[in-house]
């Protein structure tokens, strides 16, 4: 499959159709798996990596699946296409920048993806809209069962699924929930919430931010422990924590509307106004303004703007997406102009109004 | 100053940060310092800081028979070389796993296929290593023999 086919759309997971999608953007579960009869990727020769890739192309990509699976050879892609797949969260930055034979298998709804020759031979991933840990687990569990028929997993009774890094050994499972928490950030409660999380061994990471700083008020919460805790126990833990954070965020939203309605209204209206009229727009500013607009839509301060569109704009204004949409390579300045133009056009079509 | 673990001169001075805001100063020679830095964290045993060369360091001897990685290399990179390393370095890994996960035994999904049915995988892993060695040595007849055996095992 050619990545160009994906440009005009977003994966279903980004469409804000799932449970709690006023706060939760998406749920993702990833499983690390390795072939029992090959050295791990970092110690495999190019020839051995090519053999792993061939098993995936000829067998794994052919397993029964609800939707057809497409095989994409990463080493044949240019830099822009690789970055494009990173922005869509179909592959990791590490896989994009690695060397040698590597690939990704993806279904056309972008719900399932399988990275090949990342740190582990296989990284299976399932994405869902909203808070949907159970559904995501059922999906990935069944994908895993089918792959197991054609790919001999490295597994020991004592240590579970064997992985290149001991931090993943056991279930090999990392479940992540991506949250949009603008009100907790505005009311400066976010630090407090995260300090509490670290005590129960969950990891918090800002989304899309290059460094440690989260941008657009997106945060990702994942489990850390993979050994000695079953998948369902880990999922229960992460579900409960997320329920709590969702509750805190909603309370904070109610509070700011009640106590500082005018200030929030002004903030949202300014954000929308800038997005509708600016002629140069950086990626960071876009994230920040869209975050305010997303909050505005969710608390009823903006009408006529579907959340799906706001989510789509977050994705489409990322550098590689923008260039693919414009059909040409753009440098930083040109990108800022193109981004502002794209935002103006899309928002004009929708015609939102601040309340 | 002499190294605290052997008789050579101490050239490395390491401050270890211990729980409860305590610190420990170590004065070591280059070799012993390397060992300490890549050692699996574990409680200091009393008497370990003697003049004797102690056996509690992971010795350089142990290289995985399947992929050739040494434990020290794993400590440097944080990545193991092959599935067999979990058997090969089991004793060294246990304290590390305990540290990371607070547990040392898997609880969770098990593949539906019986692992016994795939006993050939260990041998395959070894054969692939031998094949690589044979090819580098340009021992093509041997390589061909190994390749045949791999095919045989893969199809059985
Ligand atoms: Zn090994």
DSSP string, A222-234: EE---SSS-HHHH
d(CA A189, CA A52) in angstroms, rounded, equals: 47
Tokens 């070894």, residue?
B126
Which tokens sit at A345?
A: 């056009």
pLDDT score at A211: 40
Residue at B145 is within a domain = yes
User: Above 70 in pLDDT, residue A174?
Assistant: yes
Give B14's pLDDT tier (boundaries 50, 70, 90). low
Q: Are residues B141 and B99 in the same domain?
A: no
What is chain B's alpha carbon radius of gyration, rounded to the nearest angstrom?
Answer: 21
d(CA A274, CA A267) in angstroms, rounded, equals: 11
> How far, in Å, is the centroid of ligand 1 from the Cα of A12?
40
Q: Are residues B103 and B134 in the same domain?
A: no
Are B100 and A229 in contact (CB < 8 Å)?
Answer: no
Residue at B93 is within a domain = yes
Structural domain total, chain B: 3
d(CA B109, CA B112) in angstroms, rounded, equals: 9
A218 contact B CB<8A: no
Residue at B121 is within a domain = yes
d(CA A266, CA A307) in angstroms, rounded, equals: 20
A154 contact B CB<8A: yes
Q: Which of B40, B63, B80, B88 is the mutation pick for testing A, counting most A CBs within 10 A?
A: B80
Nearest CA in chain A to B123: A37
d(CA B120, CA B148) in angstroms, rounded, equals: 14
Residue at B45 is within a domain = no
> Tens of pLDDT along A246-292?
999 999 999 999 999 999 999 999 999 999 999 999 988 999 999 99
Residue at B136 is within a domain = yes
Q: What is the mean pLDDT of residues B5-12?
A: 70
Q: Are residues B35 and B62 in the same domain?
A: no
A130 contact B CB<8A: no
Q: What is the mean pLDDT of residues A43-50?
A: 95
pLDDT score at B64: 93
Nearest CB to B97; choose among A152, A154, A166: A166
User: Which of A309, A274, A303, A300 lies closest to A289, judged by CA?
Assistant: A274
Contacts 24+ apart (CB under 8 A), B45-50: B49/B4, B49/B5
pLDDT score at A63: 83
Q: Are residues B66 and B98 in the same domain?
A: yes
Q: Are residues B101 and B126 in the same domain?
A: no
Cβ-based contacts of B96 with chain A (< 8 Å): 166
B81 contact A CB<8A: yes
> Tens of pLDDT along B18-59?
444 445 666 776 666 555 544 433 333 333 333 334 444 545
Are B82 and A43 in contact (CB < 8 Å)?
Answer: yes
Which tokens sit at A280?
A: 């140069």
Nearest CB to B81; choose among A43, A157, A170: A43
d(CA B33, CA B38) in angstroms, rounded, equals: 9
d(CA A9, CA A149) in angstroms, rounded, equals: 33
Counting beta carbons within 10 angstroms of the beta carbon of residue B151, is it exposed (0 to 12), middle (13 to 18) or buried (19 or more)? exposed
A229 contact B CB<8A: yes
Total CB pairs under 8 A between chain A and B: 125
A124 contact B CB<8A: no
B91 to chain A nearest CA, in Å? Answer: 13
pLDDT score at A350: 84
B50 to chain A nearest CA, in Å? Answer: 32
Per the model's pLDDT, the better-predicted residue between A347 and B137 turns out to be A347
B40 contact A CB<8A: no
Residue at B150 is within a domain = yes
User: Above 50 in pLDDT, residue A345?
Assistant: yes
Q: Which of B111, B123, B129, B151 is the mutation pick for testing A, counting most A CBs within 10 A?
A: B111
B99 to chain A nearest CA, in Å? Answer: 10
What is chain A's alpha carbon radius of gyration, rounded to the nearest angstrom?
Answer: 21
Give B61's pLDDT tier (boundaries 50, 70, 90). low
DSSP string, A145-172: HHHHTTS-B-EETTTEE--SSTTSTBT-
Q: Are residues B61 and B103 in the same domain?
A: yes
d(CA A201, CA A234) in angstroms, rounded, equals: 11
End-to-end C-alpha distance for chain B, whole angstroms = 63
- Percent of all residues in chain B with a pLDDT value above 70, rounded to a whole number: 62
- Tell me which of B74, B93, B108 is where a domain ends: B108
Taking each helix axis from N to C end, the angle separating A79-87 and A319-326, rounded to the nearest 10 degrees, works out to: 120
Q: Are residues B122 and B103 in the same domain?
A: no
d(CA A187, CA A260) in angstroms, rounded, equals: 11
Residue at B82 is within a domain = yes
Cβ-based contacts of A156 with chain B (< 8 Å): 83, 86-87, 106, 115
Q: Are residues B101 and B62 in the same domain?
A: yes
Residue at B44 is within a domain = no
- Find out whether A202 and A238 touch, Cβ atoms under 8 Å: yes
Three-class HEC string of A314-344: HHHCCHHHHHHHHCCCCCHHHHHHHHHHHHH
Tell me the domains of chain A and their CATH numbers. Answer: 3-248 (3.30.590.10), 260-350 (no CATH)
d(CA A264, CA A183) in angstroms, rounded, equals: 10
pLDDT score at B17: 47
Strands (E), A271-326: 302-303
d(CA B96, CA B54) in angstroms, rounded, equals: 20
Angle at Cα B130 formed by Cα A102 and Cα A42, nearest 5°?
Answer: 30
User: Above 60 in pLDDT, residue B16?
Assistant: no
B128 contact A CB<8A: yes
Q: Are residues B32 and B62 in the same domain?
A: no
Q: Are residues B84 and B64 in the same domain?
A: yes
pLDDT score at B12: 59
B125 to chain A nearest CA, in Å? Answer: 5
Cβ-based contacts of B128 with chain A (< 8 Å): 37-39, 48
Give A129's pLDDT tier (boundaries 50, 70, 90). very high
Q: Are residues B93 and B75 in the same domain?
A: yes
Are B97 and A173 in contact (CB < 8 Å)?
Answer: no
d(CA B153, CA B156) in angstroms, rounded, equals: 5
Nearest CB to A229; choose among B77, B87, B107: B107
The pLDDT mean for chain A works out to: 90
Q: Are residues B6 and B31 in the same domain?
A: yes
Cβ-based contacts of B80 with chain A (< 8 Å): 40, 164-166
Cβ-based contacts of A157 with chain B (< 8 Å): 106, 110, 115
Tell me which range, A227-236, B4-13, B42-51, is most confidently predicted by mean pLDDT: A227-236
Boundaries of domain holding B139: 115-155
Which tokens sit at B45?
A: 């045993």
> Tens of pLDDT along B79-128?
999 999 999 999 999 999 999 999 999 999 999 876 555 667 778 888 88
User: Above 90 in pLDDT, residue A349?
Assistant: no
Q: What is the mean pLDDT of residues A19-39?
A: 95
Give A126's pLDDT tier (boundaries 50, 70, 90). very high
Counting beta carbons within 10 angstroms of the beta carbon of residue A334, is it exposed (0 to 12), middle (13 to 18) or buried (19 or more)? middle
């Amino acid at each position: 499959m050619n990545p160009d086919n994906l440009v005009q759309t977003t994966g279903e997971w980004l469409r804000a159709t799932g449970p709690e999608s006023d706060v939760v953007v998406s749920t993702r579960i990833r499983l690390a798996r390795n072939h029992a009869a090959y050295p791990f990727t970092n110690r495999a020769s190019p020839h051995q990596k090519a053999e792993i890739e061939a098993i995936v192309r000829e067998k794994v990509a052919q397993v029964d699946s609800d939707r057809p699976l497409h095989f994409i050879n990463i080493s044949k892609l240019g830099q822009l296409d690789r970055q494009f797949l990173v922005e869509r969260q179909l592959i990791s930055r590490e896989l994009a920048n690695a060397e040698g034979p590597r690939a990704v298998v993806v279904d056309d709804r972008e719900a399932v993806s399988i990275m090949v020759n990342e740190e582990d031979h296989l990284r299976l991933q399932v994405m869902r809209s909203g808070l949907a840990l159970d559904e995501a687990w059922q999906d990935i569990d069944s994908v895993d069962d089918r792959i197991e028929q054609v790919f001999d997993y490295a597994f020991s009774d004592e240590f579970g699924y064997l992985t290149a890094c001991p931090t993943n050994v056991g279930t090999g499972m990392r479940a992540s929930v991506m949250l949009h928490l603008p009100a907790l950030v505005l009311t400066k409660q976010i630090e407090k919430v995260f300090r509490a999380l670290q005590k129960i061994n969950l990891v918090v990471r800002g989304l899309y931010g290059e460094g440690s700083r989260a941008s657009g008020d997106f945060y990702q919460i994942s489990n850390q422990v993979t050994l000695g805790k079953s998948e369902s126990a880990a999922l229960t833990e992460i579900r409960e924590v997320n329920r709590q954070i969702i509750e805190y965020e909603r309370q904070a939203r109610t509070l700011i509307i009640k106590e500082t309605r005018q200030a929030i209204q002004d903030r949202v209206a300014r954000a929308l106004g800038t997005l509708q009229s600016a002629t140069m727009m950086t990626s960071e500013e876009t994230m920040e303004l869209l975050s305010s607009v997303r909050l505005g839509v969710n608390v009823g301060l903006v009408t006529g703007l579907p959340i799906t569109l706001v989510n789509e704009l977050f994705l489409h204004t990322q550098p590689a997406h923008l260039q693919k949409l414009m059909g040409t390579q753009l440098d930083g300045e040109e990108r800022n102009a193109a981004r502002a133009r794209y935002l103006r056009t899309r928002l004009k079509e929708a015609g939102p109004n601040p309340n | 100053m002499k190294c605290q673990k052997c008789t050579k001169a101490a050239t490395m001075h390491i401050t270890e940060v211990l729980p409860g805001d305590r610190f420990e100063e170590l004065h070591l020679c280059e070799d012993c310092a390397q060992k300490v830095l890549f050692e699996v964290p574990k409680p200091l045993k009393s008497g370990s800081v003697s003049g004797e060369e102690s056996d509690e360091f992971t010795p350089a001897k142990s290289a995985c028979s399947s992929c050739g990685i040494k434990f020290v290399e794993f400590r440097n990179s944080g990545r193991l070389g092959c599935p067999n390393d979990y058997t090969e370095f089991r004793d060294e890994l246990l304290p590390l796993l305990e540290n990371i996960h607070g547990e040392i035994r898997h609880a969770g999904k098990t593949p539906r296929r019986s692992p016994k049915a795939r006993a050939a995988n260990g041998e395959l892993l070894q054969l692939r290593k031998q094949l690589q060695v044979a090819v580098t040595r340009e021992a093509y007849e041997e390589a061909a023999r190994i390749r045949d055996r791999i095919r045989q095992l893969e199809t059985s």
